[in-house]
Protein backbone atom coordinates (compact mmCIF):
# COMPACT_ATOMS: atom_id res chain seq x y z
CA UNK A 1 0.00 0.00 0.00
CA UNK A 2 2.85 2.33 0.83
CA UNK A 3 4.25 1.77 -2.62
CA UNK A 4 0.94 2.50 -4.25
CA UNK A 5 0.59 5.74 -2.30
CA UNK A 6 4.09 6.79 -3.18
CA UNK A 7 3.40 6.22 -6.82
CA UNK A 8 0.24 8.24 -6.46
CA UNK A 9 2.02 11.16 -4.87
CA UNK A 10 4.70 10.95 -7.52
CA UNK A 11 2.04 11.09 -10.20
CA UNK A 12 0.51 14.20 -8.65
CA UNK A 13 3.82 16.00 -8.51
CA UNK A 14 3.99 15.86 -12.23
CA UNK A 15 1.56 17.92 -14.22
CA UNK A 16 -1.97 17.85 -12.88
CA UNK A 17 -3.16 18.08 -16.46
CA UNK A 18 -1.39 14.95 -17.53
CA UNK A 19 -4.03 12.43 -18.36
CA UNK A 20 -3.59 8.77 -17.67
CA UNK A 21 -0.60 9.33 -15.44
CA UNK A 22 -0.76 5.87 -14.04
CA UNK A 23 -2.54 6.25 -10.72
CA UNK A 24 -4.84 3.46 -11.65
CA UNK A 25 -4.03 1.51 -8.56
CA UNK A 26 -4.92 4.29 -6.20
CA UNK A 27 -7.65 3.57 -3.75
CA UNK A 28 -10.63 5.77 -4.59
CA UNK A 29 -10.79 7.01 -1.00
CA UNK A 30 -7.35 8.57 -1.22
CA UNK A 31 -8.33 11.23 -3.66
CA UNK A 32 -11.85 12.16 -4.59
CA UNK A 33 -10.64 14.05 -7.66
CA UNK A 34 -9.60 10.82 -9.32
CA UNK A 35 -12.18 9.67 -11.85
CA UNK A 36 -13.80 6.37 -10.93
CA UNK A 37 -12.16 4.78 -13.95
CA UNK A 38 -8.79 5.03 -12.27
CA UNK A 39 -9.77 2.57 -9.56
CA UNK A 40 -10.10 -0.16 -12.16
CA UNK A 41 -7.45 -2.79 -12.57
CA UNK A 42 -5.20 -1.73 -15.44
CA UNK A 43 -4.44 -4.51 -17.88
CA UNK A 44 -1.95 -4.05 -20.68
CA UNK A 45 -2.07 -6.51 -23.57
CA UNK A 46 0.55 -6.92 -26.26
CA UNK A 47 -1.11 -7.25 -29.68
CA UNK A 48 -4.57 -7.68 -31.19
CA UNK A 49 -5.60 -11.27 -30.33
CA UNK A 50 -4.44 -10.79 -26.73
CA UNK A 51 -6.43 -7.58 -26.57
CA UNK A 52 -9.56 -9.20 -28.03
CA UNK A 53 -9.49 -12.15 -25.61
CA UNK A 54 -8.68 -10.01 -22.57
CA UNK A 55 -11.32 -7.42 -23.43
CA UNK A 56 -13.87 -10.20 -23.90
CA UNK A 57 -13.12 -11.54 -20.39
CA UNK A 58 -12.69 -8.18 -18.63
CA UNK A 59 -15.63 -6.38 -20.21
CA UNK A 60 -15.86 -3.02 -18.48
CA UNK A 61 -14.63 -3.98 -15.03
CA UNK A 62 -10.95 -3.59 -15.94
CA UNK A 63 -9.18 -1.01 -18.06
CA UNK A 64 -7.70 -2.94 -21.01
CA UNK A 65 -5.04 -1.41 -23.24
CA UNK A 66 -3.02 -2.59 -26.23
CA UNK A 67 0.70 -1.99 -26.80
CA UNK A 68 1.02 -2.82 -30.49
CA UNK A 69 -1.57 -0.68 -32.25
CA UNK A 70 -3.29 -2.52 -35.10
CA UNK A 71 -1.67 -1.47 -38.35
CA UNK A 72 1.86 -2.12 -37.11
CA UNK A 73 3.66 -5.41 -37.61
CA UNK A 74 4.03 -7.20 -34.30
CA UNK A 75 6.80 -9.41 -35.70
CA UNK A 76 9.06 -6.43 -36.32
CA UNK A 77 7.72 -4.25 -33.51
CA UNK A 78 9.94 -1.76 -31.64
CA UNK A 79 8.64 -0.58 -28.28
CA UNK A 80 7.90 3.11 -27.70
CA UNK A 81 8.37 5.20 -24.52
CA UNK A 82 4.55 5.14 -24.21
CA UNK A 83 4.70 1.34 -24.07
CA UNK A 84 7.21 1.52 -21.21
CA UNK A 85 4.99 3.99 -19.35
CA UNK A 86 1.91 1.82 -19.91
CA UNK A 87 3.66 -1.22 -18.42
CA UNK A 88 5.14 0.86 -15.59
CA UNK A 89 1.66 1.80 -14.42
CA UNK A 90 -0.17 -1.46 -15.18
CA UNK A 91 -1.32 -4.11 -12.74
CA UNK A 92 -1.40 -6.93 -15.26
CA UNK A 93 0.35 -7.71 -18.54
CA UNK A 94 -1.14 -10.26 -20.95
CA UNK A 95 1.12 -11.76 -23.60
CA UNK A 96 0.89 -14.53 -26.16
CA UNK A 97 4.42 -15.68 -25.39
CA UNK A 98 6.19 -18.34 -27.49
CA UNK A 99 8.58 -15.71 -28.79
CA UNK A 100 5.84 -13.71 -30.47
CA UNK A 101 6.52 -10.48 -28.60
CA UNK A 102 10.25 -10.07 -29.02
CA UNK A 103 10.13 -6.45 -27.95
CA UNK A 104 8.58 -7.28 -24.60
CA UNK A 105 11.41 -8.50 -22.39
CA UNK A 106 13.42 -5.28 -22.59
CA UNK A 107 10.29 -3.15 -22.40
CA UNK A 108 9.19 -4.85 -19.18
CA UNK A 109 12.70 -4.46 -17.77
CA UNK A 110 12.70 -0.75 -18.58
CA UNK A 111 9.29 -0.29 -16.99
CA UNK A 112 10.66 -1.39 -13.57
CA UNK A 113 7.24 -2.40 -12.29
CA UNK A 114 7.90 -4.92 -9.53
CA UNK A 115 4.17 -5.32 -8.85
CA UNK A 116 3.35 -6.32 -12.43
CA UNK A 117 1.49 -9.64 -12.81
CA UNK A 118 2.28 -11.34 -16.13
CA UNK A 119 -0.23 -13.65 -17.77
CA UNK A 120 1.25 -16.01 -20.35
CA UNK A 121 -1.80 -16.87 -22.45
CA UNK A 122 -0.07 -19.83 -24.08
CA UNK A 123 0.68 -21.63 -20.82
CA UNK A 124 -0.03 -25.35 -21.18
CA UNK A 125 -0.45 -25.22 -24.97
CA UNK A 126 1.53 -27.85 -26.82
CA UNK A 127 3.33 -25.99 -29.57
CA UNK A 128 4.36 -27.40 -32.88
CA UNK A 129 7.46 -26.75 -34.84
CA UNK A 130 8.35 -27.72 -38.37
CA UNK A 131 5.14 -29.69 -38.80
CA UNK A 132 4.17 -27.73 -41.85
CA UNK A 133 6.98 -27.26 -44.32
CA UNK A 134 8.40 -23.79 -44.65
CA UNK A 135 9.92 -23.24 -48.05
CA UNK A 136 13.08 -21.35 -47.34
CA UNK A 137 16.30 -21.21 -49.28
CA UNK A 138 19.65 -20.88 -47.52
CA UNK A 139 20.44 -17.77 -49.49
CA UNK A 140 17.27 -16.11 -48.33
CA UNK A 141 17.95 -16.95 -44.72
CA UNK A 142 21.40 -15.40 -44.88
CA UNK A 143 20.12 -12.25 -46.54
CA UNK A 144 17.45 -11.62 -43.99
CA UNK A 145 18.98 -12.97 -40.82
CA UNK A 146 19.63 -9.58 -39.32
CA UNK A 147 16.15 -8.16 -39.74
CA UNK A 148 14.21 -11.36 -39.35
CA UNK A 149 15.30 -12.60 -35.97
CA UNK A 150 11.91 -14.18 -35.46
CA UNK A 151 12.94 -17.78 -35.53
CA UNK A 152 10.21 -19.41 -33.49
CA UNK A 153 12.71 -20.66 -30.90
CA UNK A 154 9.79 -21.60 -28.69
CA UNK A 155 7.76 -23.16 -31.48
CA UNK A 156 5.39 -21.50 -33.88
CA UNK A 157 3.68 -18.73 -31.88
CA UNK A 158 0.44 -18.37 -33.92
CA UNK A 159 -1.65 -20.50 -31.56
CA UNK A 160 -4.60 -18.05 -31.33
CA UNK A 161 -5.65 -19.01 -34.85
CA UNK A 162 -6.81 -22.43 -33.66
CA UNK A 163 -10.20 -22.01 -31.91
CA UNK A 164 -9.34 -24.81 -29.47
CA UNK A 165 -6.08 -23.17 -28.41
CA UNK A 166 -7.84 -19.80 -28.38
CA UNK A 167 -10.16 -21.29 -25.76
CA UNK A 168 -7.13 -22.32 -23.70
CA UNK A 169 -5.77 -18.79 -23.99
CA UNK A 170 -9.08 -17.33 -22.82
CA UNK A 171 -9.03 -19.72 -19.84
CA UNK A 172 -5.46 -18.70 -18.96
CA UNK A 173 -6.39 -15.02 -19.21
CA UNK A 174 -9.54 -15.55 -17.13
CA UNK A 175 -7.66 -17.39 -14.38
CA UNK A 176 -4.89 -14.79 -14.35
CA UNK A 177 -7.38 -11.94 -14.06
CA UNK A 178 -9.21 -13.71 -11.24
CA UNK A 179 -5.98 -14.28 -9.32
CA UNK A 180 -4.89 -10.66 -9.71
CA UNK A 181 -8.34 -9.12 -9.23
CA UNK A 182 -10.49 -11.58 -7.23
CA UNK A 183 -13.13 -8.94 -6.53
CA UNK A 184 -14.40 -9.26 -10.09
CA UNK A 185 -14.20 -13.03 -10.24
CA UNK A 186 -17.85 -13.54 -11.15
CA UNK A 187 -17.75 -11.07 -14.02
CA UNK A 188 -14.61 -12.66 -15.44
CA UNK A 189 -16.12 -16.12 -15.16
CA UNK A 190 -19.39 -15.17 -16.83
CA UNK A 191 -17.74 -13.20 -19.65
CA UNK A 192 -15.22 -15.96 -20.31
CA UNK A 193 -17.95 -18.61 -20.35
CA UNK A 194 -19.90 -16.72 -23.02
CA UNK A 195 -16.82 -16.22 -25.19
CA UNK A 196 -15.72 -19.85 -24.75
CA UNK A 197 -19.14 -21.00 -25.87
CA UNK A 198 -18.70 -19.01 -29.08
CA UNK A 199 -15.22 -20.51 -29.56
CA UNK A 200 -16.64 -24.00 -29.17
CA UNK A 201 -19.33 -23.24 -31.73
CA UNK A 202 -16.65 -21.90 -34.07
CA UNK A 203 -14.61 -25.07 -33.65
CA UNK A 204 -17.66 -27.17 -34.55
CA UNK A 205 -18.24 -25.04 -37.61
CA UNK A 206 -14.62 -25.48 -38.70
CA UNK A 207 -14.80 -29.25 -38.15
CA UNK A 208 -18.03 -29.69 -40.03
CA UNK A 209 -16.92 -27.58 -42.97
CA UNK A 210 -13.31 -28.69 -43.35
CA UNK A 211 -13.83 -32.42 -42.87
CA UNK A 212 -15.17 -32.36 -46.42
CA UNK A 213 -11.71 -31.47 -47.76
CA UNK A 214 -9.20 -33.65 -45.89
CA UNK A 215 -5.47 -33.14 -46.54
CA UNK A 216 -6.10 -30.00 -48.56
CA UNK A 217 -2.68 -28.44 -49.15
CA UNK A 218 -2.42 -24.69 -49.34
CA UNK A 219 0.37 -22.13 -49.72
CA UNK A 220 0.64 -19.12 -47.43
CA UNK A 221 3.01 -16.19 -47.45
CA UNK A 222 3.06 -16.06 -43.65
CA UNK A 223 3.78 -19.11 -41.49
CA UNK A 224 0.74 -18.38 -39.33
CA UNK A 225 -1.63 -21.26 -40.02
CA UNK A 226 0.04 -24.55 -39.02
CA UNK A 227 -2.33 -24.89 -36.03
CA UNK A 228 -5.47 -24.53 -38.13
CA UNK A 229 -3.94 -27.02 -40.55
CA UNK A 230 -3.12 -29.49 -37.80
CA UNK A 231 -6.49 -29.16 -36.09
CA UNK A 232 -8.59 -29.61 -39.21
CA UNK A 233 -6.46 -32.02 -41.16
CA UNK A 234 -5.14 -29.62 -43.78
CA UNK A 235 -1.58 -28.96 -44.84
CA UNK A 236 0.08 -25.56 -44.87
CA UNK A 237 3.16 -24.85 -46.96
CA UNK A 238 4.58 -21.50 -45.91
CA UNK A 239 6.70 -19.70 -48.47
CA UNK A 240 7.87 -17.01 -46.05
CA UNK A 241 7.76 -16.96 -42.29
CA UNK A 242 6.69 -13.37 -41.79
CA UNK A 243 4.63 -11.40 -44.29
CA UNK A 244 6.75 -9.08 -46.37
CA UNK A 245 5.47 -5.97 -48.08
CA UNK A 246 6.83 -7.16 -51.34
CA UNK A 247 7.62 -10.65 -52.50
CA UNK A 248 11.03 -11.16 -54.03
CA UNK A 249 11.65 -13.17 -57.21
CA UNK A 250 13.07 -15.85 -54.89
CA UNK A 251 9.76 -16.05 -53.05
CA UNK A 252 7.92 -16.41 -56.33
CA UNK A 253 10.28 -19.20 -57.36
CA UNK A 254 9.72 -20.92 -54.01
CA UNK A 255 5.97 -20.78 -54.51
CA UNK A 256 6.35 -22.33 -57.95
CA UNK A 257 8.62 -25.05 -56.52
CA UNK A 258 6.14 -25.78 -53.74
CA UNK A 259 3.29 -26.13 -56.22
CA UNK A 260 5.38 -28.66 -58.15
CA UNK A 261 6.40 -30.52 -55.00
CA UNK A 262 3.03 -30.72 -53.25
CA UNK A 263 -0.47 -31.12 -54.59
CA UNK A 264 -1.38 -27.54 -53.85
CA UNK A 265 -5.05 -26.61 -54.04
CA UNK A 266 -4.89 -22.89 -53.39
CA UNK A 267 -2.90 -19.80 -52.38
CA UNK A 268 -3.66 -17.57 -49.42
CA UNK A 269 -2.35 -14.11 -48.77
CA UNK A 270 -2.93 -11.37 -46.26
CA UNK A 271 -3.64 -7.75 -46.92
CA UNK A 272 -0.42 -5.78 -46.95
CA UNK A 273 1.41 -8.26 -49.13
CA UNK A 274 2.09 -7.31 -52.75
CA UNK A 275 -1.15 -8.60 -54.18
CA UNK A 276 -0.42 -7.61 -57.77
CA UNK A 277 2.47 -10.00 -57.87
CA UNK A 278 0.48 -12.71 -56.12
CA UNK A 279 -2.40 -12.27 -58.52
CA UNK A 280 -0.18 -12.77 -61.54
CA UNK A 281 1.56 -15.67 -59.78
CA UNK A 282 -1.76 -17.35 -59.07
CA UNK A 283 -2.77 -16.86 -62.70
CA UNK A 284 0.49 -18.43 -63.87
CA UNK A 285 -0.01 -21.34 -61.47
CA UNK A 286 -3.72 -21.59 -62.30
CA UNK A 287 -4.58 -21.45 -58.60
CA UNK A 288 -7.11 -19.13 -57.01
CA UNK A 289 -5.81 -16.58 -54.52
CA UNK A 290 -7.90 -16.08 -51.37
CA UNK A 291 -7.31 -13.86 -48.35
CA UNK A 292 -6.48 -15.42 -44.98
CA UNK A 293 -6.34 -13.23 -41.88
CA UNK A 294 -3.78 -13.91 -39.14
CA UNK A 295 -5.61 -11.46 -36.87
CA UNK A 296 -2.37 -9.68 -36.08
CA UNK A 297 -4.20 -6.60 -37.36
CA UNK A 298 -7.86 -5.68 -37.42
CA UNK A 299 -10.66 -4.27 -35.32
CA UNK A 300 -10.55 -4.05 -31.53
CA UNK A 301 -14.05 -5.37 -30.91
CA UNK A 302 -13.80 -8.86 -29.27
CA UNK A 303 -16.37 -10.09 -31.80
CA UNK A 304 -13.88 -9.32 -34.56
CA UNK A 305 -12.21 -12.65 -33.78
CA UNK A 306 -15.32 -14.51 -34.87
CA UNK A 307 -15.95 -12.33 -37.92
CA UNK A 308 -12.39 -12.78 -39.18
CA UNK A 309 -12.27 -16.49 -38.36
CA UNK A 310 -15.58 -17.14 -40.09
CA UNK A 311 -14.37 -15.45 -43.24
CA UNK A 312 -11.13 -17.45 -42.92
CA UNK A 313 -13.27 -20.58 -42.80
CA UNK A 314 -15.23 -19.55 -45.88
CA UNK A 315 -12.01 -18.88 -47.77
CA UNK A 316 -10.37 -22.11 -46.63
CA UNK A 317 -13.45 -24.05 -47.72
CA UNK A 318 -13.58 -22.23 -51.06
CA UNK A 319 -9.89 -22.70 -51.72
CA UNK A 320 -9.91 -26.37 -50.73
CA UNK A 321 -13.02 -27.28 -52.69
If one asks whether residue 90 binds Zn ion (CB under 5 A), the answer comes out as no
Shortest gap between Cβ of 294 and Zn ion (angstroms)? 5
Judge contact between 267 and 219, C-beta under 8 A: yes
Closest CB to Zn ion among residues 90, 224:
224
Closest CB to Zn ion among residues 224, 239:
224
| Residue number of the CB atom closest to Zn ion | 224
Shortest gap between Cβ of 222 and Zn ion (angstroms)? 6
Shortest gap between Cβ of 236 and Zn ion (angstroms)? 13
Shortest gap between Cβ of 155 and Zn ion (angstroms)? 13
Our CA angle for 189, 162, 208, nearest 5°, is 100
Closest CB to Zn ion among residues 34, 46:
46
If one asks whether residue 100 binds Zn ion (CB under 5 A), the answer comes out as no
DSSP secondary structure letters along 17-49:
T-SS-S-TTS-TTT-TTS-GGGGSEEEEE-SHH
If one asks whether residue 192 binds Zn ion (CB under 5 A), the answer comes out as no
Closest CB to Zn ion among residues 8, 77:
77
Q: According to CB under 5 A, which residues from 208 to 267 bind Zn ion?
A: 224
CA distance readout (Å), 270 to 20, 85, 101, 210: 35, 32, 20, 20
Spatial strand order of the sheet with 289-291 comes to 235-238, 217-220, 264-269, 289-291
Shortest gap between Cβ of 75 and Zn ion (angstroms)? 6
Contacts of 172 (CB under 8 A, 6+ apart): 119, 120, 121, 122, 123, 124
Q: Catalog residues that contact Zn ion under the rule CB under 5 A.
A: 224
Amino acid sequence: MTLLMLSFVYGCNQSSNTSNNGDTNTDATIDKVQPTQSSKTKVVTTFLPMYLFTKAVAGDVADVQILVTPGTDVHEYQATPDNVRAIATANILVKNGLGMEEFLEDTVKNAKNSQLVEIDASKGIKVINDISPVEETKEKKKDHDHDHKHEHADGNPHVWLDPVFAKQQVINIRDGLITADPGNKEVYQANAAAYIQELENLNTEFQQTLNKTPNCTFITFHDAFPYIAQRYNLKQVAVVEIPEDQLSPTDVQKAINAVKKYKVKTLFSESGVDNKLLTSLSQDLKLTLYPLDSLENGETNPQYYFQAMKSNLQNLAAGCK
